[in-house]
Amino acid sequence: MKITRIEAFQVELPYAGGSYHWGRGNVIRTALTTVITVHTDEGFTGCGESCPIGGNYLAAFAEGIVPALSLLAPAVIGEDPREVHAIERRMDAVLRGPPYAKSAIDAACWDILGQSCGQPVCVLLGGRLTIGGSMYRVVPQKDPHAAAQEMEVHRSAGYRQFQIKVGNDWKADIDRIINATSLLEPGETAFADANRGWSLNEALAVVHAVRDTGVMIEQPCDSYDECLHVRRRTDLPMKLDECVTDLKMAQRVVVDQSAEVVCLKISNLGGLTKARRIRDYLVEHGLSVVCEDTWGGEITTAAVAHFAASTPASLLYNTTDLHNYNTVSTGQPPPVVRNGKLYAGTEPGLGVKPDTQVLGEPLAIYTESSNED
The residue from 102, 239, 265, 341 that is catalytic is 265
CB 69 within 8 Å of CB 101: yes
Three-state SS annotation for the chain: CCEEEEEEEEEEEEECCCCEEECCCEEECEEEEEEEEEEECCCCEEEEEECCCCHHHHHHHHHCHHHHHHHHHHHHCCCCCCCHHHHHHHHHHHCCCCCHHHHHHHHHHHHHHHHHHCCEHHHHCCCCCCCCEEEEEEECCCCHHHHHHHHHHHHHCCCCEEEEECCCCHHHHHHHHHHHHHCCCCCCEEEEECCCCCCHHHHHHHHHHCHHHCCEEECCCCCHHHHHHHHCCCCCCEEECCCCCCHHHHHHHHHHCCCCEEEEEHHHHCCHHHHHHHHHHHHHCCCEEEEECCCCCHHHHHHHHHHHHCCCHHHEEEECCHHHHECCCCEECCCEEECCEEECCCCCECCCEECHHHHCCCCEEEEHHHHHC
Distances (CA, A) of 222 to 194, 203, 265, 268: 9, 11, 17, 15
CB 275 within 8 Å of CB 300: no
Please count the other Cβ atoms lying within 10 Å of the Cβ belonging to residue 271.
28
Q: Is 165 a catalytic residue?
A: yes
Distances (CA, A) of 321 to 10, 205, 300, 343: 20, 33, 9, 10
The residue from 2, 102, 142, 165 that is catalytic is 165
CA distance 319 to 333: 19
Could you give the residue numbers annotated as active site? 165, 265
